[in-house]
Amino acid sequence: MKIALMDSGIGLLAATAAVRRLRPDADLVLSLDPDGMPWGPRTPQDLTERALAVAEAAAAHRPDALIVGCNTATVHALPALRDLLEPALPVIGTVPAIKPAAAGGGPLAIWATPATTGSPYQRGLIEEFADGTKVTEVPCPGLAEAVEHADEPAIDAAVAAAAALTPDDVTTVVLGCTHYELVAERIRAAVQRPGFPPLVLHGSAGAVAAQALRRIGAEPEPGAPADGTLTVLLSGREGALPAPALAYEEGRLLRAVSPAR
């Protein structure tokens, strides 16, 4: 079994680690786009073209499923990716976990990139899944970029700025960018208020990994032999994980994965 994941950068690490934990025997293909990152500031047409190229590079390795490990690419490029690759290759997008977060009740905040915050896409998800729930949309300028480069001072500053915009009564935070899941505990520490219930964080990685397995009829087997291999593609070229990936637990998990032969 082979699972491919794509993103402009290391935001795909959270979903990759989730797949690895569910199926340590799965071969992994990570398709990144260092030549074209970041995707966020690009026009939808330009982003879609970059995403299609990255997806085609992954598809050339004949995976059983492709996870789009990026919220922005899912918003703008998922229909084009599915038109290109399905039904031969199932394509699984990443959607902010607003539905399960709202189901828990209580005021919630959605941390997302400035381009996603207030967008028709995010507002549509709020109207569909969080009607009647107090929702605060929190823009997080610079946080994804800081995480991408493992820039510790910049991460601290961006998290602190977003935490200052998060109301004190918020009990749940939706991590609306895959990069944010890599610093989830730092976000929790910044937002948790004394005297309030423990903060609940909702990311998408686990659900996306599980959905990919369902789409190909595979069951989670965390106890399977950890003999899956790893292929890394950098704008279509075979390479290695970017050095900043190793600053995160999810990236370090992949150090033990053998390179594909």
Catalytic residues: 70, 177
CA distance 23 to 213: 9
Helix (H) or strand (E) holding 126: helix 120-129
**In terms of residues, how long is the chain?**
261
**Look-up: residue for tokens 């082979």?**
2
Q: How far apart are CA 55 and CA 5, in angstroms?
A: 8
Tokens of 82: 């599915």
CA distances from 143 to 154, 161, 193, 200, 259 (A): 7, 10, 21, 20, 30
Do residues 198 and 192 lie in contact, with contact meaning Cβ atoms separated by under 8 Å? yes
Count of C-beta atoms within a 10 Å radius of residue 143: 25
Helix, strand, or coil here: 172?
strand
